């Protein structure tokens, strides 16, 4: 008597299933999810923007709450009032990543788009290009390079600063040019992939116990199934949290480029 437990390989859980086409023009399930995510985000704000109720309700209320959250919880906290001009970008970034993450709990799809490293990597590269461009535009190329390589050390003497800069300068350059985009991509990817694998584990375990050869084991399938339901709710929170973390870090990096330390 066995449970018939066969856990699929990780590669099967995250594979890019080709629906039609081939090569670089192949359309996969992830392609469909990304296109649908773009449509959902645009449709949400277009529908919300059509309503001009003085006291917002429904979609309008949710959209205005999202805008307020992005402005007050992300932009003003990390970029200051001057960063409010970045509201459209930050709002789009947060909303888009949130929808990409939420595919994890959508029936049929049940796979977060951001569990594919290519997607977080592309978003991280976009942020990397933006904050470096803002830094160069605001401070000039050499000024930005100076700020990056030689952060302020207070009122220390030159002789005291030299050995510290020998240590700090390469760390700062590597951190700004390589670690920031890498950490953005890997953090989002790893958290969403871990949640996906966790849900898959309990889904397989629940199915195995409900269909076990030993009939007396079947009622115990309620336990992993209950955990699956609880974890699904938890992953919704994780999806929102990861979208928030990615967006606020993007805001922090752009804010630092806009307002160099003195």
pTM given for the model:
0.86
d(CA 96, CA 90): 10
| Residues contacting 192, CB < 8 A, separation 6+ | 101, 104, 112, 114, 115, 238, 239, 242
pLDDT digits (tens, 9 = 90+) for 90-120: 999 999 999 999 999 888 888 899 998 989 9
The distance from CA 175 to its chain's CA centroid, rounded to whole angstroms, is: 20
Query: How far, in Å, CA of 3 to CA of 89, rounded?
Result: 50
pLDDT category of residue 58 using cuts at 50, 70 and 90: confident
Q: Tell me how far apart the 2 most distant CA atoms of the chain are, in Å.
A: 78
Q: Is the CB of residue 211 less than 8 Å from the CB of residue 6?
A: no
Over residues 247-256, the pLDDT tens digits come to: 999 999 999 8
Domain locations along the chain = 10-258
Write out pLDDT tens, residues 188-239. Answer: 999 999 998 888 888 888 877 777 666 766 777 788 888 889 988 999 999 9
In this prediction, residue 241 carries a pLDDT of 95
What band does 11 get if pLDDT is binned at 50, 70 and 90? low
Give the model's pLDDT for residue 10.
Answer: 57
pLDDT per residue over 139-187, tens digit each? 898 888 888 888 777 666 666 677 788 888 888 889 888 999 999 999 9
Model confidence pLDDT, tens digit, residues 14-24: 666 666 766 66
Contacts of 227 (CB under 8 A, 6+ apart): 202
Q: Measured between alpha carbons, how far apart are the two ends of the chain, in Å?
A: 71
| CA-CA-CA-CA torsion sign (16, 18, 23, 26) | negative
What gap in Å lies between CA 2 and CA 207, rounded to an integer?
Answer: 13
């Amino acid at each position: 008597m066995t449970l018939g437990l066969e856990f699929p390989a990780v590669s099967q859980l995250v594979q890019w299933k080709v629906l039609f086409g081939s090569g670089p023009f192949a359309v996969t399930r992830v392609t469909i999810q990304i296109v649908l995510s773009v449509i959902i985000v645009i449709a949400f704000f277009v529908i919300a923007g059509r309503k001009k109720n003085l006291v917002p309700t429904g979609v309008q209320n949710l959209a205005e709450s999202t805008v307020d959250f992005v402005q007050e919880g992300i932009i003003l906290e990390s970029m200051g009032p001057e960063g409010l001009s970045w509201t459209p970008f930050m709002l789009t970034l947060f909303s888009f990543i949130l929808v990409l993450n939420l595919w994890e709990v959508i029936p049929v799809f049940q796979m977060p788009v951001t569990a594919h490293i290519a997607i977080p990597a592309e978003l991280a590269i976009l942020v990397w290009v933006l904050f470096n461009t803002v830094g160069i535009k605001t401070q000039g190329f050499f000024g930005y390079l100076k700020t990056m390589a030689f952060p302020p050390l207070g009122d220390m003497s030159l002789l005291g600063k030299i050995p510290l800069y020998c240590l700090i300068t390469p760390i700062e350059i590597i951190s700004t040019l390589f670690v920031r985009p890498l950490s953005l991509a890997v953090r989002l990817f790893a958290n969403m992939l871990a949640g996906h694998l966790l849900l898959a584990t309990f889904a397989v375990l629940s199915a195995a116990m409900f269909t076990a050869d030993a009939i007396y084991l079947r009622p115990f399938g309620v336990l992993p199934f209950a955990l699956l339901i609880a974890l699904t709710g938890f992953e919704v929170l994780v999806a929102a949290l990861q979208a928030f973390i990615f967006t606020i870090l993007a805001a922090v990096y752009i804010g630092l480029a806009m307002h160099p330390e003195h």
